[in-house]
Structure 1
Amino acid sequence: MAYDKYCPVPAERFALTSDHLVVLPEVLAHLHRAYAPAQAAVWWLSVDNAFHERAALLNEKVRLELFADRGLRHWAPTFYAREFLRRQGVPEIAMLSDHVDDQFTTWQPEGPGPDAVVAYNPRKGGELAAAFFARHPDLTPRPITGLDRRGVWAAFRRARVYVDFSHFPGREFMPREAAASGAVIFVRNRGAAQFYDDYPLPDAYRFTDAALEDGSLYARVSAALAEPESHWLVQESLRQERSVGGRDVRAAGGSIGGAAQRRACAKIHGSGPRPSHCAMKRSTCPSAISGGTRMGRVPSAR
């Protein structure tokens, strides 16, 4: 269901050739040879989690073979991941970013959120968050959990401050979604959040674990709650961040042209009306162009 809006065309089976490119998440990087003769690329969405979740990647021999294979492509969505790959001796690294959902970027906030609450994600760094709010009961926490996308968007539009307690194995979505919605952002200075190019924020909005205990984060958050406008203004770079995913895909060596997009979309919609969940631009989606009146069916794979 999470991929429905991208109009995927499922296939039960197909023959891999050298013309195919198989993109693997980092947790499956050690399996890249299993897809020969196809080319393979590893998209390092989460550097830290790769080695926590896959014991095979902790094997030194496996790692050496992985990074020595010059036929394997490596894609980095963060400068944090790029630096990691450089340290492993990977000579060519393509930057391939993800993007904030259009739902959060089509509306432009004119100022910080109106509610003096501190939004946070309890699923990332939840123990640190609980300890922080217990230490400072005068703050009003707003956990972002149990909400659909529209609910998250509505909550971020109201929140004045968002604090992320994650260890940032990659570019977390919530800080960027909250920023795009108008909140003042504070990020834990770990992983990708250490890199300005991944999170273009002044250093005052990055906090160490020591700052959680010595009161300095509390002081900064309290200041942003009391007088948010000046803090909101200096975070313009993060707030105005936009997707460059399409450009990155082409630079990484794999692009989907407009004609191919239309063919894929046509298989999903037929000549029927364009579903509201379709992520393609109206100028690309054939159902939007034709203005058809019936829904197409997903074809079975041959």
Structure 2
Amino acid sequence: MKKIVWWLSVTNYQIIFNEAKENVGHKKFYNIKSYLNPKKYSPLPSIPALKRKKVLNLAHSHFSMDFLKTNKLEIIGKISDYMSDSFYDKIANHVKKEDFVLYNPKKNGEYLERVKALCPNLSWKALINMSPDEVAHWMNKSKLYVDFGYHPGQERMPREAILMSCCVITGSQGSAAYQDDVPLPKGFKFNEAVDSPEAVANQIALTLNKFEDKIHLFSDYKQKILAEKENFNQAVNHVFNKN
């Protein structure tokens, strides 16, 4: 057997690892013991520990590939995922689009709240405490999905929104910083550290008013998502036949 880590989420690994490290770091003489005998006293999956154990690594996104290269971990390839076949049954292209702006409150924070405060008259819909069918219902009837989360990997909801013919606006954290991971058209990706909430609010208003023109800008991204399953199978064959 070979031990392989498939890096679906870089950011969540960092968050959970740091929490675990804090939980054990206060133990008596832990730092000294882990230094003198790292194999015994460093049970946490740190980068050095993964190297010592000669764990192989699979990237999932260009974001994770960059992370693995930066940390000089042994990489055997890149395999992205794809939408479940059952998801496509939920797409309803005949549904009339309305001026709803969708967002996931668990994935957004203060920056989006500032944007929302500038657009009080818009119909904002939080995708929370919903079944997959309910999420699909709102995506099918809405014009826009907004996601200023930290994008630990290639996020599912933005891709679902694209397939259900929503325009998408994101920030530039995590994988969203990589155009190869989140290939949005120009003007639909914002850097929260630089771009003002007013700029986002203006793009939202423009997108809702000119939806029929704007949605065509997402056709290339949509075709890329539709090809994910075929690309997944090819990547699996390439990685494991090669190794």
TM range (shorter): 0.7 to 0.9
Give the secondary-structure state (helix, strand or coil) at the position aligned to 1:43: strand
Q: Find 2:103's aligned residue among 105, 120, 123.
A: 120
- Displacement of 1:114 in angstroms is 1.0
Q: TM-score, normalised by structure 1?
A: 0.64
The C-alpha deviation readout for 1:244-285, integer Å capped at 9, x for no partner, is 33333333328xxxxxxxxxxxxxxxxxxxxxxxxxxxxxxx
Tell me the CA shift for residue 75 of structure 1.
Answer: 1.0
Aligned-partner residue type, residue 104 of structure 2: N
Tell me: higher relative CO, structure 1 or 2? Use CA pairs within 8 A at least 6 residues apart: 2
Pairing 1:196–2:183 present: no
In structure 2, distance between residues paired with 1:179 and 1:162: 9
Letter in 2 for 1:122: P
Q: How does 1:52-201 map to 2 (within 5 A)?
A: 52-55=15-18, 62-67=46-51, 69=53, 71-105=54-88, 114-201=97-184
Q: Percent identity?
A: 25
2:166 maps to a residue whose letter is A
Q: 1:116 to 1:166 in 2, by over 3 A?
A: same
Asked if 2 retains the 8 angstrom alpha-carbon contact of 1:162 and 1:175, the reply is: yes
Based on CA coordinates, which of the two structures has the bigger radius of gyration?
Answer: 1
Match for residue 220 of structure 2?
237
Partner secondary structure for residue 75 of structure 1: strand
Normalising by structure 2, what TM-score?
0.79
Matches within 5 A, 1:237-256: 237-240=220-223, 241-242=225-226, 243=228, 244-253=231-240
Mapped to 1, the partners of 2:105 and 2:197 lie a distance apart of 22
- Distance of 1:184 and 1:94 partners within structure 2: 31
Deviation, structure 1 residue 111: 8.9
Shift in CA distance, 113/65, structure 1 to aligned 2, threshold 3 Å: farther
Q: Give the secondary-structure state (helix, strand or coil) at the position aligned to 1:215.
A: helix
Question: Shift of the alpha carbon at 1:211?
Answer: 6.3
Q: Post-superposition shift, 1:135?
A: 2.9
Cα distance in 1 for residues equivalent to 2:112 and 2:60:
26
Unaligned 5+ runs, structure 2: 23-33, 39-45
Distance change in 2, residues 1:147/1:245 (3 Å): same
Which structure has greater helix proportion? 2
- Native 8 Å contact 1:67 1:88 kept in 2: no
- Match of 1:246, as an amino acid? N
Which residues of structure 1 form unaligned runs of 5+? Answer: 1-17, 19-38, 255-302
